[in-house]
Structure formats: structure tokens, C-alpha cells
Structure 1
Amino acid sequence: MGAPQAAAETGATPRRRRLTPEREGELYDAVLDGLRESGYDALTMNNVAARSHCSKATLYRQWQGKPRLVAAALRHCRPFDPGGPDTGSLTGDLHELARRFTGARRDVELARIISPALHRNPDLAEAMHEAVVEPELRTLRKIVERAVARGEIPPDSPTAARLPHLLIGAALARPLVERREADADYLTHFLDTVILPVLTST
């Protein structure tokens, strides 16, 4: 009796085979290459399977569909530390975040590619929030919590909850307004002259 048949007869759930990190990386690269070439709407599971020399059944078994696969690929390409940088000061932590963000410019490119599809595809928006947005929000919350504990931010600061909006807005707005990338110098200056004075004011 084969394993799948035995599992079916006993009511057990077949074990999902775990892909190696190297194999996952190859699949994610295929997804990101497809996004850059054709955008989200034109990307298909068949296309990813062909690019990565993988069966479509494996892709669906691991990620259930295109939204979760794309979200996982975008999470994979971002350097991530669950606790965030801990330099000992709010200014140092935010400057380090700015450095990391601008050190991966392809993230900005992919964000621009994926943004139009987020408004049309609730499943993609949910998958992106779970895989990409919420981990980043947790990182910022930890940075704020440490700053409050050190006395750098008032516990009732109304700006703290808007910190993600300010940072993301600054990074995405400069290319639209000035037609220039939001590099590390720009974001650091924005932090020092706009965000930090308001965030730390009593």
C-alpha cells in the first residue's frame, strides 16, 4: 500500500515535503523576474513553474496560489530582523532602518510594480499584509517601545502610530515629486528634520 493511499484510508493528512532554502530561493527568483518583466496580472503559476523547472502542483501545495507565492517572494528578498536594529538610541535605530531600506533599491522597484494590483486583488493585499507589512510594523513598534522605555518618546505621542506612514510616504514620494530616488542621505535628512522633531516633542 502506497503512502498517499494509506494516508487517505487512515484519515491522516499527507505530509507536505519541505523545500530546501536553496530551492525556495530559486523559486522566489523566478517569481521576482516574472514580476519585473510582465507585472502581477500577467504573471501565472504556469509561468513560474516553467521558469523554475518546478511542477505547478508543488507551487500550489506550498503556497496555495499566486497571491501567497508572490508575497512570500517579496518577503524573501528583504533583509529582515524581527527585533529591528537596536543601536541604543531612537535616532540610531531609525537611521539604520533608512540605511537598510535604501540598500535594497530593488524593493522599491518591486513595490511600484505590485502596488496597482493590491487595489484590485483582496487576496494579494491580505497576503502582502501578512507576509511583508505586519512584520515591518512589528519592527517599528519594537523600536518605538524601546524609545519610550528610554524616555526618548512621550508614552502618549500621537506621531508614533503614524511613523510607518511617514517613513513609507517619504520613500515613495520623492521619486514622484523630484524624480530622484529616496537614498540614504535623503531619508536620514527627512528623519532628522521632519520625523524625529515631531516624534520626540512633548
Structure 2
Amino acid sequence: MMLTEAERKTSAASARPDRARPRSRITPEREAEMYEAVLDVLRESGYEALTMDAVAARAQCSKATLYRQWTGKPELIAMALRHQKPATLAGVDTGSLRGDFRAMVAQLDDRQMLKNASLMRGLVQAVHTHPDLFQALRDLLVHPELTGLDKVLVRAVERGEISAASPTLTYVPHMLLGALIARQLIEDKSADRAFVSHYIDAVVLPALGA
């Protein structure tokens, strides 16, 4: 997991969407409404059937307005998910690895996670046939979180909480994401705050030797 400085710079650069084209100004509140509109349509229709026309109708704006803000459907969906992401490690620094993970878990919203469970399953399937969606999700959603997680782990190593030589470091993202997906498959339940908290305490931290 531990990224080199060059890898961090590359990740940060790739996580920035292309904003060279002109953008009209919209308020943060209006932007949030548009994000909610696209996620509502996505939940109802799925990725394949979602169109910019449908999003424009739900958001009560023109399709041209959407294209002035976002390059297309993949970027709009990725940014909408990033906007309402339930938990993040970005900016978290409690002074301990356990505290950082607990701060992340405290941000989770059980109702939102349940609401988005089927949506995320649909997107996992869609990325296999839509490379543009795959790239948008990696650049705008996954890479920023990997960078945040890397910073948390680096600080834990510097504090002596975990060993820099631990082979588990590479697989922390896989463990966290895998748990969210696996619970639905194994228990037919969406992950919630209690499950994630117990999983971190029982699996992630012991695996790291923390």
C-alpha cells in the first residue's frame, strides 16, 4: 500500500478532473441537487439505461447545463458518489491508527449505505463493460481515498504502531473494500457501521499488528 512520493503525485494528478473547459457557475446547493438527481435516476434505471436527458429532467435543468459542468455520464456519476461518500480518511488525524479508523466509521450513515447497496452492485457490474466509467471511478473516487489511507498508514508507521515491513500494508484497501462486498454475498446484508467497526477491530488492526 505504501506509495512512493512519485506515486502520490501521479495519483493526485490523475484524481483531478479536466477543468480546462469553461464552466457555468452554480451554487453548492444546486450542485448537490444535481448529484442527488443523478443518483436517484441511477437507482431507478441502472447505469445502462441512465441518460443525461433523464438526469436533466429530474434535476430540472437543461442537458447543456450538465455538459457545461461535467464531461458526461461517467464523470457525473463519479462526482455524485464522491459528493455523498459516507466516510473518508481524508483529513483524519486523531493521533492513533485505531482512532483514525474509528473517526472514519463514525462518519458512516447506515440508512445511506442501505440505500446505495444495490446501486453499488450495479456499478461493479457496469465497470466491466464501460472502461470510461471504470476510469472515472478510479480517478475521482478511488485514488483520493487510497491517498488518504496511505497517509494514515504512513503516520502509524512513523509513530511505531505498525511495522513498515508488514506485508499486510499492501492489502489494507483490499480488506476494507472486500468486506463491504462480501457481507452482501455471504449474509445477504449490506454493511453497516457496526459491521465495519467490528471488522476493523477483529481483522484489519490485528493483521497489521496494531
What is residue 70 of structure 2 aligned with on the other side? Answer: 63
In 2, Cα distance between equivalents of 1:15 and 1:115: 31
Indicate whether 1:192 and 2:201 are aligned: yes
Q: 1:138 aligns with which of 147, 165, 174?
A: 147
Report Cα offsets for 1:24-53 as digits up to 9, x if no partner.
111111100001101011000111111112
Tell me, what secondary structure is at the counterpart of 1:119? Answer: coil
In 2, Cα distance between equivalents of 1:96 and 1:122: 33
Q: How does 1:138-177 map to 2 (within 5 A)?
A: 138-177=147-186
Report Cα offsets for 1:135-179 as digits up to 9, x if no partner.
111111111011011101111221112101001111111121012
Q: How does 1:1-202 map to 2 (within 5 A)?
A: 15-79=22-86, 83-101=90-108, 103=110, 104-105=112-113, 106-200=115-209
Question: Counterpart of 1:23 in structure 2: which amino acid?
Answer: R
In 1, Cα distance between equivalents of 2:57 and 2:37: 9
Q: Percent identity among equivalent residues?
A: 51
Tell me, what secondary structure is at the counterpart of 1:159? Answer: helix
Segment drifting more, 48-57 vs 103-112 = 103-112
Tell me, what secondary structure is at the counterpart of 2:107? Answer: helix
Structure 2: 5+ residue stretches without partners: 1-19
Structure 1 residue 120: deviation in Å?
0.7
- How many matched pairs? 189
Structure 1: 5+ residue stretches without partners: 1-12
In 1, Cα distance between equivalents of 2:192 and 2:22: 45
In 1, Cα distance between equivalents of 2:127 and 2:197: 29
Structure 1 residue 14: deviation in Å?
8.0
In 1, Cα distance between equivalents of 2:93 and 2:38: 32
Computing the radius of gyration from Cα coordinates, the structure with the larger value is 1
Report Cα offsets for 1:52-72 as digits up to 9, x if no partner.
121111211211111111111
Q: Is the 8 A contact 1:82 1:138 kept in 2?
A: no
Q: Which runs of 4+ in 1 moved over 4 A?
A: 79-82
Under a length normalisation based on structure 1, what TM-score does the superposition of the two structures give? Answer: 0.85
Question: Counterpart of 2:48 in structure 1: which amino acid?
Answer: D
Q: Give the structure, 1 or 2, with the largest relative contact order (CA under 8 Å, sep 6 or more).
A: 2
In 2, Cα distance between equivalents of 1:125 and 1:72: 13
